[in-house]
Structure 1
Amino acid sequence: MKKYIYTTLICLTILSCKNTKKTNGKINVVTTTSMITDLVKNIAGNQVNIQGLMGSGVDPHLYKASEGDVTKLANADLIFYNGLHLEGKLVEVFEKMHSKKTKTIAIADALDKNTLISSEYFASNYDPHIWFNADYWILATQFVANKLSEAIPEQKPTFQDNATKYINQLKALKTKLETQITTLPKEKRILVTAHDAFNYFGKSFQFEVVGLQGISTATEAGVQDVQKLAAFIIEKKVKAIFVESSVPKRTIEALQAAVKSKNHDVKIGGSLYSDALGNANTVEGTYIGMFEYNVNTIVNALK
């Protein structure tokens, strides 16, 4: 009931808000996660007004729109979101917005669903952490450029040129990451994290990935989950496990304690960026910087 009332109030507020549109002669674009904000900025440049809802360290699985977010959504011409139920508590809001003249665009629509990792435990039946496949992000780049070009046809050359440049950067990133990861023997490529955010990463770079929580942080890890994973770490002689910037570290600390209680040691290898980028105006505050940081942290801790 509380969920229904919360969603209804937001939707009514959005529908009743005065839509200002075109601030300073530019259309208003709202993005959800920090990864998507960074992507749109790379393509749109200063040709649109971009406002991101979620900043550094924000968990999109549990995110609820604030009053300020409602205003941003109400005044948006375009809304880019991940899709695949990543922004679980905002899905109904986006669906309701079809009744007003605001276009909502799911980044996941750029991808062939047959290539996605499925999950019988998650509402969408697909793992939503698509940004950890660089090839997917390349497809998303062209997809966003096309959508922006449809919205502002006169700026199409700029958007397409920016997309081409960014795609080249993403291809260079993938090559760099592959080179770094080859320094880590395959038998050591076991990534244990707070929740299952890195399955696309694992598939791309031949890592066995195990998350203490499920694909969504809305699921809680129980005592049996901790004990089972502790036994796995001991059996596989895993040197390091990792916390995540958008997930409380207590779950991984509990896992570390469980391993220690069995007279084994495993270190915390560092904090990885999973569902959000780093702080704004830092290297890790960009998609490329985040990915490089994660891979360096993982490889150095597991060597």
Structure 2
Amino acid sequence: MHRYLYIAIISLIFFSCKNEKKTNEKLNVVTTTTMITDLVKNIGGEYINLEGLMGSGVDPHLYKASEGDVTKLANADIIFYNGLHLEGKLVEVFEKMKNKKTIAISNALDKNTLIGSEYFASNYDPHIWFNVDYWIKVTEYVTEILIEAIPDKKAIFESNHANYIKKLGALKAAIHSIIEESLPKEKRILVTAHDAFNYFGRSFGFEVVGLQGLSTATEAGVQDVQKLSAFIIEKNVKAIFVESSVPKRTIEALQAAVNSKGHDVTIGGSLYSDALGNAGTIEGTYIGMFEHNVNTIVNALK
């Protein structure tokens, strides 16, 4: 009953909002995750009205749209979302919006290059932002969409795109340098709350293991904890990591299980996985988030 009531509310809001007049001439753009919001802001700047649905520390795997969110979506000219079933509980909302311009940024990528996953209906790991090369392609895709929507701002969007691409290239080079100079290959084992970092691992030579698997909707059980604790001891892993958008109790339970077997493992810090840091901070940007994560990982494992 609750499911059908939810759908009815969504339909009613869309019907009531579809003819609402815009308050100004700017393009109304809505984004889902904080990573996408930051990207679109870098390209669109002051020439769009940008609203992000999710904030710092929000888990997109479990996120449900509020009535206010649905109103924002109904009044949007363009909606950018990750796709690949990252926003699993929003899929039903997007399906109600077939007449809206909803853009999955993952469409910019060749799916043959993605990491497969049986945990998502898309059959792919959706955490694509942890591959900087992917994010560069996504940036190009978003820029094309915005130029198509506001052709007279083409030169500005292209300039913003060029500047941001340079920053992303510099970020990738800096990360490689930090890791290669500071962390021997045998120490590049990353244990986190859930498997959000596989693209990071493939890009920068880390073995990545998540306690909860790819989706936080999957609870970790006692057997998962015991299996991973044995792995940590076998590999002599010195630090494991919590995530800002995932409750830390599972990693604390893992630490306790490892320590009870006579192996000392510390919690090396908190990583940003499915959401950026607080707005207005360095970690509240994609580049700042990535730098924070890499520095936290390297400092704890070296």
**TM interval, short-chain normalised:** over 0.9
Cross-structure match for 1:128: 126
| Contact 2:119 2:215 survives alignment (8 Å) | no
Equivalent position SS for 1:45: helix
Does the 8 Å CA contact 2:84/2:120 hold for their aligned counterparts?
no
Distance in structure 1 (CA, Å) of the matches to 2:245 and 2:19: 32
Partner of 2:76: 76
Aligned counterparts of 2:89 and 2:15: Cα–Cα separation in 1: 18
Equivalent residues in 2 for 1:264-279, closer than 5 Å: 264-279=263-278
Which residue is 1:217 aligned to? 216
- TM-score of the aligned structures, taking structure 2 as reference length: 0.97
Q: Counterpart of 1:116?
A: 114
Alpha-carbon separation, structure 2, partners of 1:11 and 1:203: 42
Q: Equivalent residue of 1:28, what SS?
A: strand
Q: Superposed, which structure 2 residues align to 1:133-152 within 5 Å?
A: 133-152=131-150
Rate the CA distance shift 1:237–1:7 in 2: closer, same or farther, 3 A: farther
Task: Report the Cα offset of residue 18 of structure 1.
Answer: 4.2
Residue 290 of structure 1 corresponds to 289
- Cα shift at 1:7: 3.4
In structure 1, what is the equivalent of residue 194 of structure 2? 195
2:30 aligns with 30
Find out whether 1:58 has 2:58 as its counterpart: yes
| CA-CA distance at 1:24 after TM superposition | 2.0
Q: TM-score, normalised by structure 1?
A: 0.97
Contact preservation (8 Å) 1:27, 1:48: yes
Find out whether 1:104 has 2:113 as its counterpart: no
Alignment of 1:9-48 (within 5 A): 9-20=9-20, 22-48=22-48
For 2:287, give the aligned amino acid.
I
CA shift at 1:2, angstroms? Answer: 3.3
Aligned residues of 1:192 and 1:212 also touching (Cα < 8 A): yes
Percent of pairs with identical residues: 78
The answer to whether structure 1 residue 230 and structure 2 residue 239 are counterparts is: no
SS at match of 1:262: coil
Match of 2:163 in 1: 165
Q: In the aligned structure 1, how far is the partner of 2:46 from the partner of 2:154? A: 14
Indicate the RMSD between aligned Cα atoms, in angstroms: 1.1
Name stretches of at least 5 consecutive residues in structure 2 with no aligned partner: none
Q: How far off is 1:4 after superposition?
A: 4.3
Aligned to 1:155: 153
C-alpha distance in 1 between matches for 2:71 and 2:261:
52
> For residues 32 and 134 of structure 2, what CA distance do their matches in structure 1 show?
18
Q: Is the 8 A contact 1:11 1:97 kept in 2?
A: no
Q: 1:176 aligns with which of 174, 177, 180?
A: 174
C-alpha displacement of 1:230: 0.2
Per mean C-alpha deviation after superposition, the further-off stretch among 115-124 and 186-195 is 115-124
State the aligned residue count.
301
Matched-pair contact (CA < 8 Å) for 1:31–1:81: yes
Bigger Cα displacement from structure 2, 129-138 vs 7-16: 7-16
Query: Runs in 1 of length 4+ with deviation above 4 angstroms?
Result: none
**Aligned partner letter, 1:28:** N
Alignment correspondent of 1:252: 251
